[in-house]
Chains A and B, each alone.
Chain A
């Protein structure tokens, strides 16, 4: 089912039976590694700020690191630092951090955007929030904050109480100059889509330039929901104050999946074990939220393609209500669950257990019938197919370069799912499949979501069976965790889980206190949204709306 050739080829340089051989990688870089750091997830190579492109392209071409997960920027007392978190789509457990320190008074570093397309936006974000300048970046301007913002809020010198002025100005047509005077036909038209628009799934602003009905230039403008999530998490204590925020990144609700991302990173950072029983509970509840999130994606996709509140939307909401009731019984909330704790979960299944598990089983047993309805309504519908098949094409190589993950990548035939490739929770003990589709179009992404709902139902059913058979004296829901967590100073970790939209990663650096010194969120939607111009330029404008719907972005997670 994959476009990629999965036959074993020569292993990449620097790989032996146990995984990565960092010494060989260092040798490959030919003396460019100044120093080596030990992060919890991988080793870090410290390099010079003017050799970024050389080092990264060597690692990409020769050592097979084709996935740049994220770029983390941070400020120390004596330096600025950008960290490129590299991975492989083939095997995401093979990780490498490339650390680029720059001086405090002149923070200039070479841009990695020519090597990894995804670095474009990530570096813009680093410039915006921390204030590192990237030399050779194609378009280094603010991405999350308004252009006229003063200061870089995550840097140490920032004064939060200073006044700010934000303009509301008309956006100019970037191509008008080029086309003026070439006769009447050469006219282009500038259209603002958003930030208040029913088809942008929130407050996304897309600046489009049209030639007739075709898009010649497209620039997603984000930051209308930048709620300072990273700052909020840096202000909270590990044990209790951070956990409510992940619920609010991907609120569709991918809540428990996001909580898992934080729980996994913090547990690995502080060496906390999670009881097996709690892992099963986590797996079951997280898959329930995945179903709810995919249902919303399908429902709003129908809304985008068919118009206002039509039947697909209503069906999707009907099924989501069932899931939300189940989750409410389990966690106490409909949308913002706050159910995970470091070292386990907040509480056990509601009593009577069997009754609850029967409800869960009943729901999963209904799923195939419900999906049959969806297939009748959507995927089997000729009009729907005309809108989706062969529109919004995203070739696998482009998807990889832009760091697309989740259903977007799997719809382009990239066989990448962290639940299987970098196992956590109880997933590796259960029987389920990773769904991939080769279509690379809007239709393929929709099919991946619908089929993943079925796989999630399979996982939930197995978990429900495990839970009802679990011996009564072994139901520990939380391990012993110190009241105040203080991980060792200067411990760094990047850990990711498979969220509803893709690889949701978190980088934490501890400084010996009970609050993280740097908390960086790698949001899958942020990287996925970068592919929109590739998918839409040269296409018709209704296809762009369809592509946006099939990307299934959540602005809370794009902007954080």
Chain B
């Protein structure tokens, strides 16, 4: 972080600024190894947003969010043996309003997608999403199902995909570490085209289906429309 680092070899020949300033016999109780590494400067210079990124990556509150099979492996990742807490990411919060990271552990079906979108919207910025398992990538083994979304990215943007069915806890830990790396480097989450947005029913295009449902759904109700033909 500092540019003027003096190696011990140099200091034998010419006195470093620090030594010259302190003089002989001065108690160097303030001088730690870290100080030595920084050289003469008693200050650490860094950009504030860089610092904040590093902090953000090192203290992540996860949303306690279980959907399907992957959540069992997610629980194992939080618990003994794998202990995600060692990687500064082991504080599961039950409320989305207290969380930074959402691990999406499982298949997303039509009935759940609007609810998941709502939960995602409730997480305060900046927020990050880890897609766990094949189902959040493409629908996984259930891709051909009449009710299954072809991946979490149809609804919310995903930062890291962890493949597997289900991924081992080690794989999830690796995914979390990769996410932390990205956050520390200040790489923002990818913005994807989101075909399925919640919108008011009244704003939907007036086709046969909308007309058919008109007496069942209020115009102000939030709805999600699935165009299965457009999904990959």
Contacts and interface: CB of A to CB of B under 8 A. Distances in A.
Interface in B205-222: 209-210, 212-213, 216-218, 221-222
Given A158-B146, A248-B141, A225 B106 contact: yes
Nearest to B112: A224
B197 to A, nearest CB: 12
A201 to B, nearest CB: 7
A202 B68 contact: yes
B109 A163 contact: no
Given A225-B106, A314-B80, A168 B118 contact: yes
Contacts of A100: none
B226 interface: yes
Interface string B63-80: 011111101110110111
A336 B112 contact: no
Contacts of A229: 142
Contact of A201 (B66, B117, B224): B66
A198 B94 contact: yes
Interface in B75-98: 75-76, 78-81, 92, 94, 96
Interface string A195-210: 1111001110000000
Contact of B111 (A224, A296, A334): A224
B7 interface: no
Contact of B66 (A160, A164, A202): A202
A100 B201 CA distance: 40
Given A160-B146, A161-B228, A314-B80, A169 B68 contact: no
B72 A252 contact: yes
A227 interface: yes
B55 interface: no
Interface string B131-149: 0000000000110111110
Given A196-B115, A248-B69, A336-B166, A317 B226 contact: no
B52 interface: no
Interface in B127-185: 141-142, 144-148, 165-166, 168
Contacts of B209: 150, 162-165
A313 B79 contact: yes
Contact of B146 (A228, A248, A317, A556): A228
Given A148-B217, A309-B78, A226 B111 contact: yes
A363 interface: no
Contacts of B80: 314, 317-318, 321
A161 B227 CA distance: 8
Most buried by A among B72, B166, B216: B72
Contact of A150 (B67, B115, B212): B212
Interface string A173-211: 000000000000000000000011110011100000000
A163 B226 contact: yes
A308 B66 contact: no
B204 interface: yes
B174 to A, nearest CB: 16
A320 B210 contact: no
A480 interface: no
Contacts of A223: 109, 111
A327 interface: no
A279 to B, nearest CB: 27
Interface string A101-124: 000000000000000000000000
Given A148-B216, A168-B118, A334-B73, A231 B111 contact: no
B232 to A, nearest CB: 13
A161 B217 CA distance: 22
A559 B45 CA distance: 56
B145 A227 contact: yes
Contacts of B37: none
A303 B199 CA distance: 37
A555 interface: yes
A398 interface: no
Contacts of A251: 68-69, 72
A145 B166 contact: no
B225 interface: yes
B110 interface: yes
Given A203-B112, A232-B141, A335 B79 contact: no
Given A150-B212, A228-B146, A556 B68 contact: yes
A127 interface: no
A205 to B, nearest CB: 8
Interface residues of A, number: 56
Interface in B109-125: 109-119
Contacts of B110: 145-146, 149, 164, 166
Given A228-B147, A232-B144, A317-B79, A165 B210 contact: yes
Given A168-B114, A251-B72, A334-B168, A321 B141 contact: no
Interface string A303-322: 00000110001100110110
B225 A235 contact: no
Contact of A145 (B69, B111, B116): B111
A425 interface: no
A470 B213 CA distance: 65
Given A150-B209, A168-B223, A556 B69 contact: yes
B185 to A, nearest CB: 30
A245 B64 contact: no
Contacts of A231: 144-146
A165 B217 contact: yes
Contacts of A308: 92, 94
A232 B142 contact: yes
A149 B109 CA distance: 13
Interface in A49-87: none
Given A227-B107, A244-B141, A166 B76 contact: no
B225 A165 contact: yes
Most buried by B among A166, A309, A334: A166
Contacts of A335: 69, 72-73, 166
Given A227-B109, A228-B146, A168 B221 contact: yes
B67 A202 contact: yes
17 contacts: A146-B110, A147-B216, A161-B228, A163-B227, A164-B209, A164-B226, A166-B114, A168-B117, A169-B217, A196-B116, A227-B109, A227-B148, A248-B69, A317-B80, A318-B80, A334-B168, A555-B68
Interface of B: 64-69, 71-73, 75-76, 78-81, 92, 94, 96, 106-107, 109-119, 141-142, 144-148, 165-166, 168, 198, 201, 204, 209-210, 212-213, 216-218, 221-229
Q: Which 4 A-B pairs have the closest CB atoms?
A: A228-B145, A251-B69, A317-B79, A168-B114
